[in-house]
Amino acid sequence: MYGFDERPGRTCKRALASRSWIPVACLMAVLAGGAFAPAAQAQGKKATPFKVAKFYFETNSSGCDMGIQIAFDTEGIKSGTITDPDGLLVYEITAATGLEDIGGQTEGFLEGVEPVIMELVNAGCVPDPDDLEDVITLDDLRYMFPAGSYEFDGTSVDGEILHDKAELTYNIPDGPVLGPPDGDTDVDADSPLDITWQEVKKTIPGIPPQHAVQIVGYQVLVFDADGGESPQEFNVVVPGDQTSVTVPPQFLQPDTEYDIEVLAIESSDNQTITEGSFETAK
């Protein structure tokens, strides 16, 4: 099971505010979190924004789990940090040896472990029984990843200072409810196939109260369920007011099981997946 009461980082803000004894770990977190921005100010340099800076949740409404995803893009950095709204270090970026020699890292994407969320289970989601050993609540998640601005700081090989921020919110969209052909077992592989879903209008269960969300797009993936680690896939993003996508027959094969994933993408970048499947006729 995950445990959060022992995490010292969340006590740093209170220790600094009271000016009481400050643990070394807190001091290091503060120094790491502010290492780049003060350097830019001291040198009178204007920080260059990242081309992309994203910090958001991805939720699986079928697997009942949720995790953090981070994405960034630059012209090239040799080192950098991502810090949370309390100034605590979340992630470090370091380019060394050959990677530094050619100008550093231009972009990156990472995702954290996705624990099962109790509120999704209580709302009727059925997780894999093996995942039930690591169940957390939305309050646990808020403790680990508070809403607010996450700072992206970096420096390039030639000393350019970069700075940007991403706003993490709990505007987490509910999972799309799939329509046909989800669950069908006799789909004609020689005809165009419409993948359908219901419009997502509110947040996931467990966010009190559930409220409206702004869906900016849906991503739809269809792929061979037995295609291995990198199956050929149909992958398209459509506007937020669209609730169907047509898969061309050239993509489909007879007597094949296909998996469906439909992701609702909120204006905050938070996204939620619903999984489904269908089978084509022999």
The per-residue b/e assignment along 238-272, b for 16 or more CB within 10 angstroms, e otherwise, is eebeebebebeeebbeeebebbbbbbbbbebbbbb
Res 201: pLDDT:
97
Residue 158: partners with Cβ closer than 8 Å, 6 or more residues away: none
The one-letter code for the residue type at 116 is V
145: which 2 tokens?
């990843």
Q: Are 251 and 210 in contact (CB under 8 A)?
A: no
Least-confidence region, from 20-29, 158-167, 218-227, 234-243: 20-29
Enter the pTM of the model: 0.84
List phi, psi (to 5°) of 34: -110, 20
The one-letter code for the residue type at 91 is Y
Q: pLDDT grade, residue 227 (50/70/90)?
A: confident
**What residue spans define the domains of the chain?**
9-161, 193-279
Least-confidence region, from 53-67, 183-197, 227-241, 263-277: 227-241
Looking at the predicted structure, is the pLDDT value of residue 30 above 70? no
184: which 2 tokens?
């069908």
Res 10: pLDDT:
54
Residue 238: partners with Cβ closer than 8 Å, 6 or more residues away: 217, 218, 220, 245
Q: pLDDT grade, residue 44 (50/70/90)?
A: low
How far separated are the first and last CA of the chain, in Å rounded? 45
- Could you give the percent of the chain with pLDDT greater than 90? 78
DSSP symbol at 44:
T
268: which 2 tokens?
């905050």
Distance, CA of 122 to CA of 230 (rounded, Å): 33
Res 236: pLDDT:
97
Q: Average per-residue pLDDT in the chain?
A: 87
The predicted-structure confidence for 63-80, as pLDDT tens digits, reads as follows: 999 999 999 999 999 999
Task: State the sign of the Cα–Cα–Cα–Cα dihedral 165, 76, 82, 172.
Answer: positive
Looking at the predicted structure, is the pLDDT value of residue 237 above 60? yes
Looking at the predicted structure, is the pLDDT value of residue 198 above 80? yes
- CATH classification for the domain delimited by 193-279, as one of 3.40.50.150, 2.60.40.10, 3.90.380.10, 3.40.50.2300: 2.60.40.10
Which residue carries 């609730």 as its tokens?
A: 243
Q: pLDDT grade, residue 46 (50/70/90)?
A: confident
